[in-house]
Amino acid sequence: MNRIIYKEGSDKLLYICISFTLIYVVMKKIIIAIDGVSSTGKSTMAKDLARELGYTYIDTGAMYRAVTLYSLQHGFFTSGGIDEQKLQDAMNDIDISFRFNPETGRPDTYLNGVKVEKEIRGMEVANRVSPIAALGFVRRAMVAKQQEMGKAKGIVMDGRDIGTVVFPDAELKIYVTASPEVRAQRRLDELKAKGEVASFEEVLENVKTRDHIDMTRVESPLRKADDALELDNSHLTIAEQKAWLLEQYEKVVTSD
């Protein structure tokens, strides 16, 4: 489709073919799925990549965090765990949306019309989100919403099962990983920057616990898709990550 045959005296034809090729590359939109373990900076890299490409960014982790926050607000967590029936009955009352914030250049998360970006990033939600995300009816509801969001393509979506369940046919799949210790320190720095108090040991335990729950749950366990590219960013700078991601993107959109 992108081959150009040049013959003497056919300069106009060559120009037209080149122009068509460039237009095709620019207009070709794909789905970029970024999966991986917690606290690897998936959301940050996905947001930056989407902004660079002019794509829509969808933070699926924020969606599960919003459901968790709703459950906390409505007393669905009990001494025995989660009142699954109450949460299931309430799923139709949970509306999650994203609105672009011009001050940050990134989308904020809204729960039933209320901005909850700060609330869903705290340790209280972080410590409870994995059990919520492991519930089959929660995952099915979120996956359906995510698939609807991605119908038009031109999106970057990050989470735990984007390349394996939500969009198994995504044109570009990335699986991000890093050592638990590196991830714990990153998470601790993030919490401190927000004025929250936590110890390294507490955060490290949270990271390891979330990994175990995410990888062993029955519904959509975290795993690397067979055709995903693995990115270990333990010792990479943000600039190095960005350059690598753009390189992979360009390979996909310029291929036949």
What is the 8-class DSSP label of residue 54?
A: T
Using alpha carbons only, how large is the chain's radius of gyration in Å? 21
The pLDDT, as a whole number, for residue 166 is 94
Check the annotation: does 36 bind a ligand.
yes
Contacts of 256 (CB under 8 A, 6+ apart): 1, 2
Tens digit of pLDDT for each residue in 17-68? 444 444 444 558 999 999 999 999 998 899 999 989 989 899 898 999 999 9
Check the annotation: does 39 bind a ligand.
yes
CATH numeric code, 31-253? 3.40.50.300
This prediction's pTM: 0.75
The pLDDT, as a whole number, for residue 158 is 93
Check the annotation: does 42 bind a ligand.
yes
Tokens of 162: 């984007």
The pLDDT, as a whole number, for residue 84 is 97
Check the annotation: does 41 bind a ligand.
yes
Tens digit of pLDDT for each residue in 97-127? 988 888 887 889 999 999 999 999 998 999 9
Which amino acid, 202?
E
Tens digit of pLDDT for each residue in 170-229? 999 999 999 999 999 999 998 899 888 899 999 999 999 999 989 998 888 999 999 999
d(CA 69, CA 121): 10
Tens digit of pLDDT for each residue in 122-169? 989 999 998 999 899 999 999 999 999 888 899 999 988 999 999 999
Check the annotation: does 255 bind a ligand.
no
